[in-house]
Amino acid sequence: MDNLNIRKINGYTVQLVADRIYALDEFGTDIIYLVEGEKRAMLVDTGAGLGRLKDTAKELTDKPIFVVNTHGHVDHALGNHEFDEVYMSEKDEWMIEPSYMTKESFEAFCVRQMAEPAYTGPDLGGKELRLAKPAGYIEEGMRFDLGDREFEAIGISGHTKGSMVFLDSKNRVLISGDSVVSTPILIFDTYSTSVEAYLEDLKKLAAREGEFDLIFPGHFLRPIGKRYLFDLMECAREILSGRAEPEPGDFGHMSSEPALVHRYGLASIVYNEKHIRK
Ligand SMILES: [Zn+2]
């Protein structure tokens, strides 16, 4: 039987996951969320810009759309060029500037994506890289009003310096990017800060756990529960206290830096010596 909550639009797998929240799976690469309010719709992330995201979002809402980025990584912010009103943290802007994000590095990314077993998108050979400046910067505590609902930006330094999560406490929903996901949290490369900074910011989020039930992450299974947040905190504590017994991880396709994987409960963190303390 067809699942009426799941549709294919322009190659994106679209799922209604909560009240007026759609998850758009960008060909197995990442998850984008579209949240509709009475006046405006907010798109959380734009993926890697591999498909026709704006046309797809417009099939789901007739409200004017603006974009917030959870962080500046290639698989979350490269579709920004399709939209006029995009906000991101200033701390991550360098990742999508032409001096850093080159045609060559985008081509290499496309080749890697197509080689992923989960990839369901088009052939990316000759895919053009298009970069865009954000319209504004997201600051801690900033609120995005959609009419009858709003999201508050909460900074979670760790995976990147400018990573943000977005909380709709009225509807008890948190959209978490790569800061709280079911897959390993990567805090080991040039983008990352430290496990110490990450734990500090997770504590800030945990102090508000009474305001949300479901967490919608930027990759894989969604939603996930708060157990991931608490296990990630304990995982980080074990790394900081020296109690962790990590295994070496194979993340050479992402960075030449060494990668250690520590697991606790449902959570895992990828880090190395340089990224433990601030
Ligand atoms: Zn990321």
**2 Cα to the center of ligand 1, angstroms:** 32
In the reported structure, the alpha carbon of residue 272 is separated from the centroid of ligand 1 by a whole-number distance in angstroms of: 17
CA of 187 to the centre of ligand 1 (A): 10
- The CA 179 to ligand 1 mean position distance, Å, reads 8
User: How is 65-89 classified by DSSP, letter by letter?
Assistant: EEEE-S---HHHHTTGGG-S-EEE-
Q: How far is the CA of 238 from the centre of ligand 1 (A)?
A: 23
Ligand 1: centre distance to CA 191 (Å): 9
Superfamily (CATH) of domain 6-275? Ribonuclease Z/Hydroxyacylglutathione hydrolase-like (3.60.15.10)
Q: In terms of DSSP H, where are the helices of the chain?
A: 53-60, 74-77, 103-115, 195-206, 227-241
Residue 252 pLDDT = 87
pTM assigned to the model: 0.97
- Output the CA 132–ligand 1 centroid distance in Å: 18
Is residue 240 within 8 A of residue 199, CB to CB? The reply is yes
Gap from CA of 163 to ligand 1 centroid (Å) = 9
- Report how far ligand 1's centroid is from the alpha carbon of 38 (Å): 30
Per-residue pLDDT of the chain (278 residues; tens, 9 = 90+): 667 789 999 999 999 999 999 999 999 999 999 999 999 999 999 999 999 999 999 999 999 999 999 999 999 999 999 999 999 999 999 999 999 999 999 999 999 999 999 999 999 999 999 999 999 999 999 999 999 999 999 999 999 999 999 999 999 999 999 999 999 999 999 999 999 999 999 999 999 999 999 999 999 989 999 999 999 999 999 999 999 999 999 998 888 999 999 999 999 999 999 999 99
